[in-house]
Structure 1
Amino acid sequence: MKSSYVKLIASLILFGSNGIIAAHITLPSDAIVLLRTLIGSALMVCVLIAARRLPACLPKGADLLHLAASGAAMGASWIFLYEAYRLVGVGISSLAYYCAPIMVMILSPFLFKERLTFSNVVGFCTVLVGAVLVNAQTLDGGGSAWGMFCGWMSAIMHAAMVIFSKKADRVDGVASSALQLVTSFFLVLLFMAWKGDLGFRIAPDEWGWILTLGLINTGLGCYLYFSSFGGVSAQTVAVLGYLEPLSAVILAAALLHESLAPIQVVGGALILGGALFSESFARARLKSRPSITRAAPALRKPPRQG
């Protein structure tokens, strides 16, 4: 479980740096998504080939369908998100996008039979308020109906990605990441071919940023993210998911010298506090439960008499 928490948090920090790297790339948003999924999926496939795990590691049956659906949802989510960035701005798009964890948390009792506890709800509401405050400075108030539709669709697709991935959480992390990224790549490729946007050019000085985004932030990041699902609940993924926008703001302040307003500092504190509150109570409940070992003597049959 500790390993899963470390993987999840590390992946969210990597994802939070996506905007920092993308700021150095002048390509259209769909081209950036295409390249990051291509490079990331190529890395995962090469790892599987080097380990001689193909095709034995590939999932079958329901797991295969769930991971393919998750990958398609991931690609669609990124396409809608970057389109929303262009039309309504980063702030409004982010607030719509990060409603996805709310959807996951609401559906988790029905889809995964996870109990929705008081500490989960309180911690999640605190985190949500913090996310709104963190992004409040970037709201520009403008935009279009299509831009808002794209923002909400990015959230719906992101929630679908998490749900389908969670349903296949028994699959090895490298194999699941490879399949999801490959599926996502082909979806974006078909979308760009339909739009006729495949004739883009890459400046020589942008290759370093593109490779970093594809190999580390996408390939490694997706492996850490999806491989953590087997050890954490869907509600934990929802709550800790807000560390991504928090890390984005902190990294922007540290690396791009963007100033942090007091309201953003308060929002960051609420995100961390809400996440820690929710998870600390979850761990306390686990520790308070009697173990099978301690309960075993009570389950033994009494010795025969005579």
Structure 2
Amino acid sequence: MKNKALIKYLTALLLFGLNGIVASHIAMNSYEIVFLRTFIGSVLLASLFLLTKGRFHLRNNRRDYIFIIFSGIAMGASWMFLYEAYQQIGVSIASLLYYCGPVIIMIMSPLIFKEKLTVPKIAGFLAVIAGIILVNGQASAEGLNIRGLVCGGMSALMYFFMVTLNKQSKEITGMENATVQLMISFLTTAIFVGIKEHFVFHIPTEAIPWILMLGILNTGIGCYLYFSPLSKLPVQTVAICGYLEPLSAVIFAALLLNEKMTLLQVIGAVFIIGGAMTGELIKVST
């Protein structure tokens, strides 16, 4: 059961790693892209959920729904902060700040989830952090500003709340969990875009296939694969393996966008993979 959940989670991370590749073909404002991807993704999941005769169990699981709703708000906010950070300080530094989210989870898990920090997990965690620094270490300090740094930090904080709040849902899992999560994320994004841009924007014809791919595959299906196994995985596994997303994004960019990886970035990739394997596969009895 745990292996199946882990495969789902890793597949979702790879899909999310492709987000930048897909988005590079969409000539639109970043907030508009987030709005469209959450709209299409939530419509897809809601349709699939209803077609398979799924039922919302709000009446009997109000506590779980409260956690999922707040987790959805955190996810929408996290994506919006992240995309604003992309514009303000660039993708590399923004990504580095965003993936401090799993670091916060790792640090807080003994207090919140009563999970033990074993020596292999600590070693794997440190290796992953070193790898992320190496992969993103080529970023220039030029153009850094307080607003961008704050947005990057807030995206990490919202990531922490997104994962930890969703993990509190014990009864509402699978398709129902993912559907509610993404619908709330869309509503959060829609409110922001409505206030900021009044829903007035142009969708280029050539971008439509990429928008559909981003919304259906990378968001709708990706979010289902991401959230449905969370309750079955240790939070530290979620934190460490979560770094597969930025690692895969770097690799996909090198392969599909011809972005070159430096030697330090290659070494960093090895650190990330090795750290994730150390933290997940090596067990130490306590």
Shorter-chain TM-score range: over 0.9
Q: Give TM-score scaled by structure 1 length.
A: 0.90
Q: What is the CA–CA distance in structure 1 between the aligned matches of 2:141 and 2:108, rounded to whole Å?
A: 31
Q: 1:240 to 1:232 in 2, by over 3 A?
A: same
Counterpart AA for 2:22: I
What is the deviation of 1:197? 4.2
In the alignment, which residue of structure 2 is the partner of 1:296?
none
Q: Give TM-score scaled by structure 2 length.
A: 0.96
What is the deviation of 1:52? 1.2
In the alignment, which residue of structure 2 is the partner of 1:124?
125
In the alignment, which residue of structure 1 is the partner of 2:236?
235
Q: What is the CA–CA distance in structure 1 between the aligned matches of 2:241 and 2:13, rounded to whole Å?
A: 8
Instruction: Please report the RMSD computed on the Cα atoms of aligned residues, expressed in angstroms.
Output: 1.5
Counterpart AA for 2:96: L
Counterpart AA for 1:49: L
Count of aligned pairs: 285
Do the aligned partners of 1:90 and 1:139 also contact (CA within 8 Å) in 2?
Answer: no
Q: What is the CA–CA distance in structure 2 between the aligned matches of 1:117 and 1:59, rounded to whole Å?
A: 37
In the alignment, which residue of structure 1 is the partner of 2:90?
89
Do the aligned partners of 1:4 and 1:230 also contact (CA within 8 Å) in 2?
Answer: no
Q: Which entry has the higher C-alpha Rg, 1 or 2?
A: 1
Mark the runs of 5 or more structure 1 residues left unpaired by the alignment: 290-306
Q: What is the CA–CA distance in structure 2 between the aligned matches of 1:254 and 1:218, rounded to whole Å?
A: 22
Q: Does 2:257 correspond to 1:256?
A: yes
Counterpart AA for 1:175: E
Q: 1:177 to 1:249 in 2, by over 3 A?
A: same
Q: Deviations over 1:244-301 (max 9, x none)?
A: 110001001111111111111100000000000111123x65xxx9xxxxxxxxxxxx
Alignment of 1:182-221 (within 5 A): 182-221=183-222
In the alignment, which residue of structure 1 is the partner of 2:30?
29
In the alignment, which residue of structure 1 is the partner of 2:51?
50
In the alignment, which residue of structure 2 is the partner of 1:155?
156
Counterpart AA for 1:28: N
Q: Does 2:64 correspond to 1:67?
A: no
In the alignment, which residue of structure 2 is the partner of 1:173?
174
Counterpart AA for 2:181: Q
Alignment of 1:136-147 (within 5 A): 136-147=137-148
Q: What is the CA–CA distance in structure 1 between the aligned matches of 2:10 and 2:194, rounded to whole Å?
A: 35
Do the aligned partners of 1:123 and 1:275 also contact (CA within 8 Å) in 2?
Answer: yes
Q: What is the CA–CA distance in structure 2 between the aligned matches of 1:159 and 1:225, rounded to whole Å?
A: 15
Counterpart AA for 1:104: I
Partner SS, residue 273 of structure 1: helix
Of residues 273-282 and 188-197 in structure 1, the stretch that sits farther from structure 2 once superposed is 188-197
Q: Does 2:14 correspond to 1:16?
A: no
Counterpart AA for 1:15: F
Q: Which 4+ runs in 1 deviate beyond 4 A?
A: 56-59
Q: What is the CA–CA distance in structure 2 between the aligned matches of 1:197 and 1:259, rounded to whole Å?
A: 39
Q: What is the CA–CA distance in structure 2 between the aligned matches of 1:20 and 1:59, rounded to whole Å?
A: 41
Q: What is the CA–CA distance in structure 2 between the aligned matches of 1:204 and 1:34, rounded to whole Å?
A: 17
Partner SS, residue 257 of structure 1: coil
In the alignment, which residue of structure 2 is the partner of 1:274?
275
What is the deviation of 1:110? 1.3
Mark the runs of 5 or more structure 2 residues left unpaired by the alignment: none
